Amino acid sequence: MSNEKEFKPFISADKNLPELTVVSVVLGIFLAVVFGAANAYLGLRVGMTVSASIPAAVISMGVIRIILRRDSILENNIVQTIGSAGESLAAGAIFTLPALFMWASEGLTEAPSLVEISLIALVGGVIGVLFMIPLRSALIVQEHGTLPYPEGKACAEVLMAGEEGGAKAGLVFKGLGFAAVYKFIADGLKVFPSEVDFQINSYKGSGIGMDVLPALLGVGYICGPQVSSYLLAGGTVAWFVLMPLIVLFGGDAVLYPADVSVVQLFAEQGTWGIWRNYIRYIGAGAVAAGGILSLIKSLPLIIRTFRQAVKGFGVKAEGTGRTSRDIPMQFVLLGIGIMAIIMWLVPAVPVSLLGAIIIIIFGFFFATVSSRMVGLVGSSNNPVSGMAIATLLISTMILKATGTIGISGMVAAIAIGSVICIIAAIAGDTSQDLKTGYIVGSTPIKQQIGELIGVVASALAIGGVLYLLGRAWDYGSTEIPAPQATLMKMVVEGVMGGNLPWTLVFVGVGIAIVVEILRIPVLPFAVGLYLPIHLSTPMMVGGAIKWFFERKKGANLDKEHKDKIERGILYSSGLIAGEGIVGILLAIFAIINIGDKSLGDLIDLSGTLNLGNWGGLLVFVLLSATLVKVVIGKKKTK
């Protein structure tokens, strides 16, 4: 175990470089809004988000070092600290809050206001940051040699290799620009379909297809071949095993929740009718079981983590220098108290005193667990979805037992779950950022202020994005299926009303248990089972491209091949951001009316120019070729 006396940061404590400047704050807020909005759109479309720390760091170096001719690694670190807050807050918000819009569309309640969404996001984000601050010394400083914090360390390495910032930032912008044009042609002008779909007539009930979109290719590359293959395996079980069996054995029977026979449902709606009425409930059971199983498996680690984290709660870092200063404890406690009062007394937040108490207790537990677990296993393996499902189950049962039932109880449960999900996500992100800052020699109090600035900006942005997307399209529709929020809605409705098709749900639970027994990572498989196969196939293409370049040198990649893999990651980050930004632009077009048509309808060329399914596939092949070209890079001349 290392401590601060043994470890020497990249910038020593006696040096004072520009850090929390106007430039770093403005650029950080801009990136927080951009990556937060892009990840919100991605999560609502696909059901997962990706880290924004490294692309934010690379863009900040490109702008600050190359364009503005400023040279401060600490300034760049503040930019990525503020910028990465947007992605984490978006992840917590989109997994739960769209459920409120879905209930509104069903006529059960009113749609949440912009103020309500932003306040819920703000409260969760601020509490997440504040809970992490007293843990910094114990987790980041005292256990520097024990907890690796993989994403935080990787981001620090990118910052310390800052001389390549301009070229690497160019890759992000190249991906962003290419994806923006592609998305506008596909979903704006609609020259080719963004979703290619084929039914296999000789094998009734089965189907295959692909969402030929840049973000999915990028997500697949970033996640890698293993995760992508687990997702595709889940999709294959759903679309090539379960759906044909339902069509084969269902026949003329009317199976709940459909109100017509299976034969009629398949004749009228095809494979999508089978998926919508049966498979998504099986998948929901699998995902819920997977989240709970991952939580149970992590329970010894969680208990040990919580115990050790509580021991270190509020421990002051050794020394009095610049690198030892945190936001004072009295301000941390005051801030948490203010957030609790806002939840309880502000009418816009649908949480009672009991709900506020539940949030503070569960929030403290999951924030401390999340902060330490991401240090051990990384943010991508942090079981936030399992924490969210467990929170929703417990809070819904408590609310039901205390008489808060019906739609008011369900809304309160989702609000509680949203805040706690955001707390866990932001606490994990804050700990990774503080680890980066510890390695490069940042001032903790300035980073913590930067994190709070990022949370405020992101909360306002995510409120606007969710409200805008809800106005433009219905949550649960083809444009924004919101798979995670749909799952959370099912969990709350199941506990509160008990009106789910439980047989289908338990089939999914059984499949998840079998997968766990076979020692296959259950969550990615379950997510693949829950999502349409059309999302898994393009991700597998991205994963396969990464696999091809990784296998060329085996496990021990040399520097040249590591650079190739990193180029692909940066370009893929740009693809995700570009599609997300244009997705939000198209939502604006959908609500702007000119005469009796929306602006989105006016630019639609599908009636006069449409390349069809095969054209869409061909364009996706060309898109994939650009990723391959970027990874290969320019050949060096001797």
Residue 109 near residue 495, CB atoms below 8 Å: no
Average pLDDT over residues 378-403: 79
User: Sign of dihedral through CA atoms 267, 270, 276, 278?
Assistant: positive
**pLDDT of residue 534 exceeding 80:** yes
Residue 43 has a pLDDT of 87
What count of other Cβ atoms lies within 10 Å of the Cβ of residue 425?
32
Give the pairing of strands 593-594 and 207-211: unpaired
- Read off the pLDDT of residues 7-17 as tens digits, 9 standing for 90 and up: 788 888 888 88
Which range is least confidently modeled, 65-69, 326-330, 350-354, 452-456? 65-69
Helix boundaries (H) for 133-224: 136, 150-160, 165-183, 214-223
Question: Helix axis angle, 225-237 relative to 214-223, nearest 10°?
Answer: 120
- Read off the pLDDT of residues 609-636 as tens digits, 9 standing for 90 and up: 777 888 889 999 999 999 999 998 765 5
More confident of the two residues 566 and 314? 566
Residue 402 has a pLDDT of 86
Residue 128 near residue 367, CB atoms below 8 Å: yes
Residue 638 has a pLDDT of 44
What count of other Cβ atoms lies within 10 Å of the Cβ of residue 621?
11
Give the Cα separation of 227 and 525 in Å (integer). Answer: 8
More confident of the two residues 448 and 555? 448
- Read off the pLDDT of residues 359-385 as tens digits, 9 standing for 90 and up: 998 888 888 888 877 887 666 666 677
- Read off the pLDDT of residues 573-599 as tens digits, 9 standing for 90 and up: 889 888 988 999 999 998 888 888 888
Show me where the domains of the chain are located. Answer: 22-162+335-379+404-488
Give the Cα separation of 42 and 117 in Å (integer). Answer: 18
Residue 367 has a pLDDT of 86
Q: Give residue 467's region: left, alpha or beta (phi > 0; psi -120 to 50).
A: alpha
Please report, in angstroms and rounded to a whole number, the separation of the first and last CA atoms in the chain.
46
Residue 39 has a pLDDT of 87
Nearest C-alpha neighbor of 599 from the set 464, 462, 472, 461:
472
**What b/e readout covers 333-372, taking b as 16+ CB neighbours within 10 angstroms?**
eebbeebbebbbeeeebbbbebbbebbbebbbbbbbbbbb
For 333, the token pair is: 């406690």
Q: Where are the beta strands (DSSP E) in 53-199?
A: 195-199
- Read off the pLDDT of residues 118-130 as tens digits, 9 standing for 90 and up: 999 999 999 999 9
For 292, the token pair is: 């709970």
Count, residues in the chain: 638
Residue 88 near residue 428, CB atoms below 8 Å: yes
Q: Name the DSSP letter for residue 196.
A: E
Residue 454 has a pLDDT of 94
Helix boundaries (H) for 262-318: 262-274, 280-297, 299-311
Average pLDDT taken over every residue of the chain: 86
What is the DSSP code string of 398-417? HHHHTT--HHHHHHHHHHHH
**pLDDT of residue 554 exceeding 70:** no
Which range is least confidently modeled, 119-123, 154-158, 265-269, 412-416? 154-158
Average pLDDT over residues 70-79: 86
Element (H, E) at 210: strand 207-211
Which range is least confidently modeled, 454-463, 561-570, 584-593? 561-570
Q: What are 196's strand-pairing partners?
A: 210
Average pLDDT over residues 235-243: 96
**pLDDT of residue 637 exceeding 60:** no
pLDDT class for 2, splitting at 50, 70, 90? very low
Q: Name the DSSP letter for residue 211.
A: E
